[in-house]
Amino acid sequence: MKKETILFLIKTTLITLVIYNISDYLFLRKVVADLVSRLLTHVGVNAPSYFSGGELMLGDYLFSKNCIAGSVLSVVFGLLFSCKGRLREVAFTSLVIFFVVSALNIVRLLITYFLLSHHISFFWAHDVLANGSAILLAFVVFWIADPLFPTFRPQVFDVLDDIEGEIRRLFNLHHPNL
């Protein structure tokens, strides 16, 4: 594997871990939980935002930093800030992605709590929806980043190509069309 790829992966991992673990983002979680609670009341779902035993709750469920797309945003910011580019491009792209992902995540939260209020199982209403939306968010991130930070996608894809090549080499896998 190329030295640049290894350094990129180390840098991305470190940035991701720092962003994710630097805080529990309680203020942001509280703002989002309150907003979702208010929006849910407009569709007839009672899910108050409150503290119980030192934990933030929304309805009957714990409202963690993953509920504000914390893990997704941490990885995206890790990737963005690991790429070579002008700081202004990276910062602006990060800001736009933050607001778009947050808005889409609020829609996901509304759908999740609406489904839960209609007795859809937690597995379907939360787990399947959360994982499915994370995949969708990956496409949204690249769609947003492409025009704002044109070197982002090629840099990430170069790293992925290098990783794929290394996996093929390690496991002696040969693609017939390569």
CA separation for the pair 167, 44 (Å, rounded)? 51
pTM above 0.75, yes or no: yes
Per-residue pLDDT of the chain (178 residues; tens, 9 = 90+): 899 999 999 999 999 999 999 988 999 999 999 999 999 999 999 999 999 999 999 999 999 998 999 999 999 999 999 999 999 999 999 999 999 999 999 999 999 999 999 999 999 999 999 889 989 998 999 999 999 999 999 999 999 999 999 999 899 887 666 5
Nearest alpha carbon to residue 137 among 89, 79, 56: 79
CA separation for the pair 24, 40 (Å, rounded)? 24
* Chain-centroid distance, C-alpha 32: 15
Question: What is the pairing mode between strands 49-52 and 55-58?
Answer: antiparallel
The neighbour count for residue 73, using CB atoms within 10 Å, is: 23
Per-residue pLDDT, 177: 63
Question: What is the pairing mode between strands 61-62 and 49-52?
Answer: unpaired
Q: What are phi and psi of 58, to 5 degrees?
A: -130, 110
Per-residue pLDDT, 175: 64
Q: Is 50 within 8 Å of 33 (Cβ atoms)?
A: no
DSSP state string for 19-53: HHHS---HHHHHHHHHHHHHHHHTTT----EEEET
Q: Is 109 within 8 Å of 40 (Cβ atoms)?
A: no
What are the domain boundaries of the chain? 3-158
Determine the Cα angle at 118 with ends 112 and 121, to 5°: 65
